[in-house]
């Protein structure tokens, strides 16, 4: 299978590069920049992409790849730091920008040499997304300048004879006009990819790898009933069948009637299904805790402890499986990346886990790819298209400390919001929507009497990959109906607000 090798230097957009390559139906794998060269060469890549990163290549402790990679005769595309690394390694000079005008951040008008294969078929001018404070003062011998901006004459460089290309901007992000076309040109015009890889191929490869890894061992899967864990369950069932036990932990922070619905849905599957009612246990651990990171870590550790107990009942379980996907990983922090929030199944894991290994078959996939894989596995559409729900559940939708009364209040309000979204047909337009019980109380008047109750926030977003998102423009009539119903039907709420913040700067969840 033809493969594009992506070498990761720690940049924030790195996994988006892989996603763009896959969208072109070309298989790719992401490897750390310091992976042994023999391992990388064994992959027989048809092309290599150097990612961005936060470092300066001229510093002694900056990450660098083994220079022998430039002798393979394989095309290379360097992005941002990857571009500077390429130039520096081949005899160019990279220095800090001499003044503020040479530093470029954000949307930048860029002019391209469309005679270069990387920019073939593109307009001669467009907007690119820059994020660099270093400057290529001298390009290596054999390289031509193929793109420029007002502040920088060497926005892109190319050695067409060797198939080496570098761009100071980020073609993988949506902000760069025709960025995907540039990546496509590298794949097909430079690397001569066939573009035959599909999610069906990924499914078959993943099943094979799971069988090799698990062997005759037993697997315990954390099954929430959401899209990610359901697809992971189907994939593991296909791979190891009766060796799999799915444990659904009802931590008392699920949506209205969700525990019963999950049990009913999976009762028909050919799986070992175990439901654990642990609401009292989780609420006791969370009592008095108002910090969101602590909530996630407490829930993450308690999940593991419950799984360990259930594993002992099953007997000799070797692997813990999780439906972790890449947005979970990147937001929890990896390498030099910042911790946005620790997901309960990533940054929230305790230091010691009583299993041989954790298996995460979806770890390299984005949400839309997970849904596509679910369809390949034959999962019903209602399950594949299900609304995302975080593992910590309502715990991170209740701002401040958590009580059973607050959870019950939010459950009812959230159910009304979801019901009215479906009635209005807006559930097909918003990719995620939910209610948040804030920790703010305000004065109101109901029945000619004064109230002092909680403010409830409604949140609805549109997104394709859950890495970025825009707030959904819901009809005023719908918001009015939801507000009226919640205030009248749910005790303890007297004010409704609608969140109109995109991601970034906000995250989709409030905590």
Assess whether pLDDT exceeds 80 at residue 437: yes
pLDDT digits (tens, 9 = 90+) for 284-307: 999 999 999 999 999 988 988 887
The model's confidence at residue 97, banded by pLDDT at 50, 70 and 90, is: low
- pLDDT grade for 358, boundaries at 50, 70 and 90: confident
pTM for the structure as a whole: 0.67
**Higher pLDDT pick, 373 / 449:** 373
pLDDT in tens, 144-177: 999 988 777 788 999 999 999 999 899 998 889 9
Fold of 3-190: Rossmann fold (3.40.50)
Q: At 95, is the pLDDT very low, low, confident or very high (cuts 50, 70, 90)?
A: confident
CATH number of this structure's domain 199-384: 3.40.50.620
Concatenating the DSSP letter of every residue in 372-410 gives HHHHHTT--HHHHTPPP--TTGGGGSB-SS--HHHHHHH
| DSSP β-bridge partners for residue 138 | 93
Known catalytic residues?
Answer: 80, 170, 172
Q: Measured between alpha carbons, how far is residue 480 from residues 416, 431, 458 in Å?
A: 12, 21, 12
Q: Is the Cβ–Cβ distance between 30 and 6 less than 8 Å?
A: yes
As a whole number, mean pLDDT of residues 389-404 equals 92
Q: What is the pLDDT of residues 476-510, one digit of tens each?
A: 999 999 999 999 999 999 999 999 999 989 999 99
Q: Which range is least confidently modeled, 9-13, 183-187, 396-400? A: 9-13
Residue 348 pLDDT? 41
Beta bridge partners of 437: 398, 456
Q: Which residue stretches of 288-433 are H helix?
A: 292-314, 326-332, 367-376, 381-384, 404-423
Q: What is the pLDDT of residues 449-473, one digit of tens each?
A: 889 999 999 999 998 777 789 999 9
75 φ/ψ angles, rounded to the nearest 5 degrees: -60, 145
Q: What torsion do the CA atoms of 424, 425, 428, 430 make, to the nearest 10 degrees?
A: -20
Q: What is the pLDDT of residues 264-276, one digit of tens each?
A: 777 777 778 899 9
Q: Scanning the structure block, which residue is given the tokens 């911790």? A: 339
Confidence of residue 347 (pLDDT cuts 50, 70, 90): very low
Query: What is the pLDDT, as a whole number, of residue 337?
Result: 39
How high is the pLDDT of residue 354? 63
Q: Domains of the chain: which residue ranges?
A: 3-190, 199-384, 397-498
- 167, 79 contact by CB (below 8 A): yes
pLDDT score recorded for residue 190: 98
Give me the pLDDT at residue 329, please: 66
Which of 348, 356, 51, 32 shows the shortest CA–CA distance to 183? 51
Supply the pLDDT for residue 105. 57
Give the C-alpha separation, 241 to 270, whole Å.
8
**Using CA atoms, how far apart are residues 355 and 474, in angstroms rounded to an integer?**
46
Which pLDDT belongs to residue 338? 41
pLDDT classification of 345: cutoffs 50, 70, 90? very low
**How far is CA 319 from its chain centroid?**
23
Whether residue 249 contacts residue 278, with contact meaning beta carbons closer than 8 Å, is answered with yes
Is 335's pLDDT higher than 60?
A: no
Q: What percent of the chain has pLDDT over 90?
A: 59
Measure the CA–CA gap between 435 and 117, rounded to whole angstroms: 49
Cα(482)–Cα(473) distance, rounded to whole angstroms?
Answer: 15
Residue range 397-498, CATH number: 3.30.300.10
Mean pLDDT score, 111-140: 88
Residue 67, helix vs strand vs coil: helix
Domain 3-190 and domain 199-384, same fold? Reply is yes
């Amino acid at each position: 299978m033809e493969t594009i090798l992506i070498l990761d230097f720690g940049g924030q957009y790195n996994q988006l590069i892989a996603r763009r390559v896959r969208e072109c139906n070309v298989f790719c794998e992401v490897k750390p920049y310091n992976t042994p060269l023999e391992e990388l060469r064994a992959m027989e890549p048809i092309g290599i992409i150097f990612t961005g990163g936060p470092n300066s290549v001229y510093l002694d402790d900056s990450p660098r790849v083994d220079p022998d990679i430039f002798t393979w005769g394989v095309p290379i595309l360097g992005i941002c730091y990857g571009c500077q690394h390429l130039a520096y390694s081949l005899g160019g000079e990279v220095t800090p920008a001499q003044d503020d005008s040479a530093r470029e951040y954000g949307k930048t008008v860029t002019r391209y040499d469309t005679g270069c294969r990387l920019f073939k078929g593109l307009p001669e001018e467009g907007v690119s997304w820059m994020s660099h404070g270093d400057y290529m003062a001298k390009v290596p011998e054999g390289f031509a300048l193929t793109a420029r901006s007002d502040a920088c004459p060497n926005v892109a460089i190319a050695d067409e004879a060797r198939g080496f290309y570098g761009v100071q901007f980020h073609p993988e992000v949506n902000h760069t006009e025709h960025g995907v076309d540039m990546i496509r040109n590298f794949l097909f015009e430079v690397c001569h990819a066939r573009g035959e890889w599909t999610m069906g191929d990924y499914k078959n490869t993943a099943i094979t790898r799971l069988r090799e890894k698990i062997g005759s061992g037993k697997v315990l899967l954390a099954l929430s009933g959401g899209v990610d864990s359901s697809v992971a369950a189907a994939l593991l069932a296909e791979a190891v069948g009766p060796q799999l036990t799915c444990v659904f932990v009802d931590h008392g922070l699920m949506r209205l009637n969700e525990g019963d619905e999950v049990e009913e849905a999976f009762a028909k599957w050919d799986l070992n299904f175990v439901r654990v009612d642990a609401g009292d246990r989780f609420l006791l651990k969370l009592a008095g805790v108002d910090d969101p990171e602590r909530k996630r870590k407490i829930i993450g550790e308690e999940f593991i402890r419950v799984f360990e107990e259930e594993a002992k009942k099953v007997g000799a379980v070797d692997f813990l499986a999780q439906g972790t996907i890449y947005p979970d990983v990147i937001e929890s922090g990896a390498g030099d990346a910042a911790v946005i929030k620790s997901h309960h199944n990533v940054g929230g894991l305790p230091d010691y886990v009583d299993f041989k290994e954790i298996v995460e078959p979806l770890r390299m996939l984005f949400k839309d790819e997970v849904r596509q894989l679910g369809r390949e596995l034959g999962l019903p559409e209602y399950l594949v298209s299900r609304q995302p729900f975080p593992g910590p559940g309502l715990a991170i939708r209740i701002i401040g400390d958590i009580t059973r009364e607050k959870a019950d209040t939010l459950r009812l309000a959230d159910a009304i919001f979801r019901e009215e979204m479906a009635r209005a047909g807006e559930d097909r337009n918003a990719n995620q929507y939910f209610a948040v019980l804030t920790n703010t109380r305000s004065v109101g008047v109901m029945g000619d009497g004064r109230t002092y109750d909680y403010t409830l926030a409604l949140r609805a977003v549109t997104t394709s990959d859950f890495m970025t998102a825009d707030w959904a423009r819901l009809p005023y009539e719908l918001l009015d109906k939801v507000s009226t119903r919640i205030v009248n039907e749910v005790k303890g709420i007297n004010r409704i607000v609608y969140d109109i913040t995109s991601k970034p700067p906000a995250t989709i969840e409030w905590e």
